[in-house]
Chain A
Amino acid sequence: MTGLQAYLLLSSLLFAIGLAGALTRRNAILVLIGIELMLNAANINFIAFWHYGPATTYITGVMFAIFSISVAAAEAAVGLAIIVAAYRHSHTIDLDSMNSLKG
């Protein structure tokens, strides 16, 4: 197993754990966090590919990670705001009981 493969394996494990969390948790906030973890796993891939890429002077991977972090921050802010608003509406953040579009 090479260095790059180790990183990729770690990131796919992280991705899978994040996915598992997002799929199994009831708490909407934790589902969101699972998705954040998946994004982080992707970031690890970017950085790893940059590091093991042909030339580290091409910093596309780094830039991509930075942009991805920014997007993730925006996503977290809006997602949590939506959850808070939904909680105010239905007094629960249990995803199993939040399956109706009706108010």
Chain B
Amino acid sequence: MTWIVRYVCLIPALPMLAAGISALLPQRSRKPAAGLAIVSMAASFALALCAFAAALSNPSPQVFNFSWLQFGDQTLALGWLLDPLTAVMLVMVTFVGLLIFIYSTGYMEHDENFTRFFCFLALFAGGMLGVIIANSLLLLFMCWEIVGLTSYLLIGFWYQNPRAAAAAKKAFITTRIGDLGFLIGMVWLYAQAHTLLFYDSGRGALESGAVSHLAVTTTIYGLTLSSAIGLLIFCGAMGKSGQVPLHVWLPDAMEGPTPVSALIHAATMVAAGVFLIARIYPLMSAHGVEVVTPTIALQVVTWVGAITALFGATVAVAQWDIKRILAYSTVSQLGYMMIGLGVGGPAVGMFHLITHAFFKALLFLGAGSVIHGCSGEQDIRRMGGLRKYMPLTFLTYGIGMLALSGFPLVVSGFWSKDAILYSAHHWSVSQLPFYMASLGALLTAFYMTRQVCYVFFGTLRLPGHGPVSHSEPDSEDTRHHGAGHPHESPAVMTAPLAILAFFAFALGFLGTPLWPWFQSFLNGDHSVAAEHEPGLVATMAASSVIALLGIFLGWLLYGRQSIATCEAPDVLERAQPQTFRVLHQAYFIDAIYDATFVRLTRWTAKLADLLDRFLFHGIVQAISFGVLGLAWVDSFVDNYVVNFGFDSSWRSISMGGRAMAALQGGRVQAYLRYIGLALVALVLYLLWGVAR
């Protein structure tokens, strides 16, 4: 075991420590708090690189376990592990996190709760890294909940805003529903496998002994135990990763600060669900000896992913808020990752996760830069023509958009999405997910083009600016000091954008079909060899065509003639107002939830209240009246029968009490004397006992 395995725990511990320290800092010490968070994150990044190097040289899982608490003959062990999956995620999270931390110093510069923000951010990073390194489902769950808590805190960071507070509550409660399944699954797993450790030199829950036992035991509906437990845990992943039907919190979560959206709700936390499925993949994919079709669990994952992917993409088409578009896009992309996991295994899903993390963080930070530049405006109808004011943002955002759209051959998004489509195409159960995913990809390219056209092309439509009110857009004066004028963000914000843009480009080449280094690294074999499989080129061509078609459609509808005013309805809205409304309201799912679950809960509460008020209250009243009557009878008996007896007895008791009180005269030495006499008596008793 190399030294790094022992110290992997420092990677989450450092940001947590930073969070703990900055929690104690006074509000005014902004620089120390930010510096602490950034330094801790940089240190974690360095450590993560070391861990990555260690994992490169030895791809088999290396673990460090210790027993945490013991009750009866059961021992709960915790631990951490280092395998390629962990290493890749560590590097990604620390790197993206570091960039976003740096970006946040610029973005949150004017916020009075700057210190608190960095405290939460560092705590979040710690929790997320804890999820990644955990070698025990229990530890993973703990960190998972830390992540959930910080997500709540950060979404509701501007808690004075009632919508933010509501969004925070929504996110917390929705993910909790999923976590309930997770918890049940975890308990069940412990009951069956007697351990929650993933790898424990042959005894872990993910290793062949336990898995083969779980895979052949069946439970209700012929499900294997492994599938059932996997599905329960998948509930947690669904909540966290915003899969339909638990996705509702994710778009609302955009009420939080934009760096938070970038870090938590695009790049890392929502990926935790995907990561969780990738982590327990051996459990999900375990099947008996004779069955070879994908397990029920993986099928469910695929279908949920496919539905989510298509759902998110369609809804994103009809949004106005720049961040909501990205949010629904995230939902959709998470669906892709789930498809990838379901049909192609962890390598495929994780590859998309990593590339997505970079370009989605880029997009969110770009959106943040746009919002920052437009003084808080989030409606894309009120933007436009920003490429002149914010060239750097435009450039990087464009790269992110191309990556998300899957522009052929050059960007990372293409390669990772292509791998998913290819795997889906070859899925043995059904072709439908492939078609759903393809449609989703088309829509993805379309809505991204739409968004870019709205934001960066055309004319400026900010309120207070007529379309041509800015006569000299390039003069230094108006750029930097104009009150409502869009302006380019400071370097501390654009520098991370540039770095992320570079990676959004470059990362794809780690996993091209010609050189599938990433996949082989994750799968643990070192044969970096190009595999020419049938239909590969065809799929690539198909996905290229889809992406280009989507971009072209978008440009056709939105880019060809510039949008003139902010009141002008969308092109699609003009054509299909009903459909657009449905999509804009995200299939009315929130309304449906409101009408069903929320109302049901309200009614239940009201019913309980009524029951309480009338039925139980009446019963209590009746009983109390009965008791009162009894008491009256009793007091009669008391007064004339019992009192006489009591009077005589209390007299004797009070006499005894007075006698006892004489013993306690408040004189210390008297007490000591009694103790001394008692000692004499005790020694005499003991001696007598011995003598006998």
A residues engaging B (CB < 8 A)?
Answer: 19, 22-24, 28, 31, 95-96, 98-101
* Distance in angstroms between the alpha carbons of A99 and B668 in the assembled complex: 8
* Distance in angstroms between the alpha carbons of A75 and B667 in the assembled complex: 20
Which residue of chain B lies nearest to A99 when distances are taken between CB atoms in the complex? Answer: B666
B640-692 interface (Cβ within 8 A of A): 665-669, 672-673, 676
Known: A19-B676, A23-B676. A31 touches B669 (CB 8 A): yes
Which residue of chain B lies nearest to A28 when distances are taken between CB atoms in the complex? Answer: B668
* Distance in angstroms between the alpha carbons of A100 and B666 in the assembled complex: 6
Top 3 nearest A-B pairs by Cβ distance? A99-B666, A99-B667, A23-B669
Which residue of chain B lies nearest to A24 when distances are taken between CB atoms in the complex? Answer: B669
Query: Are the CB atoms of B667 and A95 closer together than 8 Å?
Result: yes
CB contact between A22 and one of B665, B667, B672 (< 8 Å): that residue: B672
**Chain A residues near B666 (CB-CB < 8 A):** 98-101
Q: How large is the interface on B (under 10, 10 to 19, 20 to 34, 35 or more residues)?
A: under 10
**Chain B residues near A22 (CB-CB < 8 A):** 669, 672
* Distance in angstroms between the alpha carbons of A102 and B557 in the assembled complex: 92
* Distance in angstroms between the alpha carbons of A31 and B667 in the assembled complex: 12
B residues engaging A (CB < 8 A)?
Answer: 665-669, 672-673, 676
Query: Are the CB atoms of A31 and B668 closer together than 8 Å?
Result: yes
A-B contact pairs, 10 of them (CB 8 A): A19-B672, A22-B669, A22-B672, A28-B668, A31-B669, A95-B667, A96-B667, A98-B666, A98-B668, A99-B666
Report the minimum CB–CB distance from B106 to chain A (whole Å).
56
**Chain B residues near A98 (CB-CB < 8 A):** 666, 668
* Distance in angstroms between the alpha carbons of A101 and B665 in the assembled complex: 10
Report the minimum CB–CB distance from A9 to chain B (whole Å).
14
**Chain A residues near B668 (CB-CB < 8 A):** 28, 31, 95, 98
* Distance in angstroms between the alpha carbons of A10 and B598 in the assembled complex: 82
Report the minimum CB–CB distance from B608 to chain A (whole Å).
51
Which residue of chain A lies nearest to B676 when distances are taken between CB atoms in the complex? Answer: A19
* Distance in angstroms between the alpha carbons of A95 and B666 in the assembled complex: 9
**Chain A residues near B669 (CB-CB < 8 A):** 22-24, 31, 95
* Distance in angstroms between the alpha carbons of A100 and B669 in the assembled complex: 14
Which residue of chain A lies nearest to B664 when distances are taken between CB atoms in the complex? Answer: A99
Report the minimum CB–CB distance from A26 to chain B (whole Å).
9
**Chain A residues near B665 (CB-CB < 8 A):** 99
Kindly list 12 other residue pairs between chains A and B, CB separation below 8 angstroms, not including A23-B672, A23-B673. A23-B669, A24-B669, A31-B668, A31-B669, A95-B667, A95-B668, A98-B666, A98-B668, A99-B666, A99-B667, A100-B666, A101-B666
Which residue of chain B lies nearest to A25 when distances are taken between CB atoms in the complex? Answer: B669
Best-buried of A22, A24, A96, A98 by chain B (most CB within 10 Å): A22
Report the minimum CB–CB distance from A102 to chain B (whole Å).
10
* Distance in angstroms between the alpha carbons of A28 and B673 in the assembled complex: 15
* Distance in angstroms between the alpha carbons of A98 and B666 in the assembled complex: 8
* Distance in angstroms between the alpha carbons of A31 and B671 in the assembled complex: 13
**Chain A residues near B673 (CB-CB < 8 A):** 23
Which residue of chain B lies nearest to A100 when distances are taken between CB atoms in the complex? Answer: B666
Report the minimum CB–CB distance from A20 to chain B (whole Å).
9
**Chain B residues near A31 (CB-CB < 8 A):** 668-669
Report the minimum CB–CB distance from B689 to chain A (whole Å).
19
* Distance in angstroms between the alpha carbons of A71 and B237 in the assembled complex: 56
**Chain A residues near B667 (CB-CB < 8 A):** 95-96, 99
* Distance in angstroms between the alpha carbons of A9 and B669 in the assembled complex: 25
**Chain A residues near B676 (CB-CB < 8 A):** 19, 23
**Chain A residues near B672 (CB-CB < 8 A):** 19, 22-23
Report the minimum CB–CB distance from B674 to chain A (whole Å).
11
**Chain B residues near A96 (CB-CB < 8 A):** 667
* Distance in angstroms between the alpha carbons of A61 and B532 in the assembled complex: 80
